Chains A and B, each alone.
Chain A
Amino acid sequence: MADTMGEPILEVSGLVKHYPLTRGVLLRKQVGAVRAVDGVDFTLAKGETLGIVGESGCGKSTLARLVVNLEKPTAGSITYRGEDITKLSARALKAVRRNIQMVFQDPYTSLNPRMTVGDIVGEPYEIHPDAAPKGDRRRRVRELLDVVGLNPEHVNRYPHQFSGGQRQRIGIARGLALRPEIIVADEPVSALDVSVQAQVVNLMERLQGEFGLSYVVIAHDLSIVRHISDRVAVMYLGRIVETGRDTEIYDHATHPYTQALLSAVPVPDPGAREHRERIILSGDVPSPTAVPSGCRFRPRCWKARERCETEVPALAVPAGLRYAAGPARHDSACLFAQERHEEHAYGPK
């Protein structure tokens, strides 16, 4: 799929979101900042799925909220169809919002418990009345419920009458109501039971084909991200450290963090226990209020040298791999980027 991608419909460039840390009540002084997103670039093509993986605190959820304009960035631009949407007036923004919708992680808290399913799925039409004429809304809502595999007869039920998987379908139906072009999904299946996750993943894939959707899927489950993504970006402490097509990342990772992440994921294959060589990182992810100098992965990296303390590695094809043939040649923000030759490939083959 990735090779037949058309023009980018979304371009994120130099995106930064810092939350100020203040002290004092009357004389509020800024004493620092949480650098949640700290310079992120990516593009999304029509019909494409970009997977963003990373651990908690890496800024992936903030990134999602920036892309759908729930938050204003501190710096940088988000270009949708040639327009920087971070600079739009409230009115122009409303029109754009219609085309970029979000599906949230937790289907238990993201649906209003006092609204019926019909009202939840139809609410976008209240905000964008021109999307569907009033008399037609009921029918559209029923249609949407049907599309996501729910019984249209249940339109008057309340969220608590549905299971987690069904609630996530309601969230997806709401996301689809305005026929958006882009859906940003923040951990869409992680709150669901294992046997239900596959159902929702399949639904998302089917809808992508049916409606020509582009997805930004944020998740920590690497196997699910691999299954649905055309391209993958790995985030660490507010930045993308490595990005490429799925095989480039999963089978030919060159950034030490990606390699550690892949090797740490428990593989559902007991036979892999013996021949897998795992990299166990020491320590935790540093706080985004105190980002290390140079390469931000440096304090946990086993390859770190002096240069890493002073030089910030750019997200580009590393110098050492510029002439490499094949999938090792992709963007990786490491001065000493290298493929790891031990067995580290993820997933049963």
Chain B
Amino acid sequence: MLLEVRDLHVEFRTRDGVARAVNGVSYGVDAGETLAVLGESGSGKSVTAQAIMGILDSPPGRITGGEILFQGRDLLKLKEEQRRRVRGAEMAMIFQDALSALNPVLPVGDQLGEMFVVHRGMSRKDARTKAVELMDRVRIPGAAARVRDYPHQFSGGMRQRIMIAMALALEPALIIADEPTTALDVTVQAQVMDLLAELQRELTMGLVLITHDLGVVADVADRIAVMYAGRIVESAPVHDLYKAPAHPYTRGLLDSIPRLDHKGRELYAIKGLPPSLMDIPPGCAFHPRCTAARDLCRTDVPPLHEVPGERGSACHFWKECLHG
């Protein structure tokens, strides 16, 4: 396993109380594999990624438990100095909003080249040549001419390509992409997703794709982990999950997608709202919104049960969900 997160806990101490953002998350990704982490806002999907990358805002954020094994080493036991050498060179992140992730007053070529100067000790001149190569690789037309341009001179899709180029610069083993195409238009989104998938195959990288879009997941993921209120509630190979979800939350999400044969009828809607992380319901966090909730669900936190076919479900009654 390239990356293995084990029982990770993250909390944020704020004036108003403690927000338990991540409450025992475990997932893994292999080289060449794409794991999609699906969740709504506040599900803890991005916080988990920040903890893996070591870019958690702390304070107020704090990792209170767990392990993050990357190529066998526990990243949480490394010193910041060692961590910095891993970040960028061995694992890299792609953010949703390229415009705010890039430095607005530095030409993109310099920002790309910086990776080689800092991590590989290259000269500025060689680094610029490398930058042009990278821009070519992510298919930015006229790379050599545009290497001195500033981020605002590029379109949203092109900026996201530069983000991808920056993440790939040192050929890391793992890429974490946090909603990489959410800010883009549909036709551009398809271009960028295709590019990312192709480069991943070429370099056999592990990819953790964080998204809220069931469509994007279905298009590119091998496995999927569904998060709710800071926990993984279901994990499965992507085909199996869409065919037969084993958790009522996943089932609800899939059922609320508008379907052709349901036109004119009411959409299925999960009732209620996602819980506040300051006040996560006891027992199963989903029970106040669950149509199948029983007494047990109100008191006992369901563990991630093993489900046949390398799957997991954090529902006491996963069998019923899977077959009903």
Contacts and interface: CB of A to CB of B under 8 A. Distances in A.
A127 interface: no
A284 B188 contact: yes
A194 B264 contact: no
B260 A349 contact: yes
A223 B258 contact: yes
Given A201-B267, A285-B185, A195 B256 contact: yes
A278 B215 contact: no
Interface in A277-296: 278, 280-282, 284-285
Contact of B41 (A193, A199, A266, A272): A193
Nearest to B215: A266
B273 interface: yes
Interface residues of B, number: 48
Instruction: Say whether chain B's binding surface is mostly helix, strand, loop, or mixed.
Output: helix
A230 B259 CA distance: 15
**Most chain A beta-carbon contacts within 10 A, residue among B155, B157, B258:** B258
Contacts of A347: 258-260
A137 B307 CA distance: 56
Contacts of B186: 55, 220, 222, 261, 264-265
B106 to A, nearest CB: 23
A196 B194 CA distance: 29
Interface string A216-235: 00001011101100000000
B40 A269 contact: no
B158 interface: yes
B257 interface: yes
B194 A226 contact: no
Contacts of A197: 256
Contacts, number: 122
B190 A278 contact: yes
A268 interface: yes
Given A227-B267, A268-B254, A55 B214 contact: no
Nearest to B42: A193
A273 B219 contact: yes
Interface string B176-198: 00000000011111110110000
B145 interface: no
A269 B241 CA distance: 10
Given A56-B185, A284-B158, A202 B238 contact: no
Contacts of B257: 223, 268, 348
Given A267-B219, A284-B157, A202 B267 contact: yes
- In the complex, which range does the number of interface residues on chain A fall in? 35 or more
B242 interface: yes
25 contacts: A193-B41, A194-B212, A194-B253, A199-B269, A202-B269, A222-B186, A227-B263, A246-B263, A264-B187, A266-B190, A266-B213, A268-B217, A268-B242, A270-B218, A271-B239, A273-B219, A281-B187, A281-B190, A281-B191, A282-B191, A284-B155, A284-B156, A284-B188, A285-B185, A349-B261
Interface of A: 1, 55-56, 163, 165-166, 193-199, 201-202, 205-206, 220, 222-224, 226-227, 246, 260-261, 264-273, 278, 280-282, 284-285, 347-349
Given A281-B187, A349-B261, 15 more contacts: A1-B264, A165-B273, A166-B273, A193-B212, A195-B274, A199-B270, A206-B266, A226-B263, A265-B186, A266-B193, A268-B214, A268-B218, A270-B238, A280-B194, A284-B158
Interface of B: 40-41, 155-158, 185-191, 193-194, 212-219, 221, 238-239, 242, 252-254, 256-264, 266-271, 273-274, 289
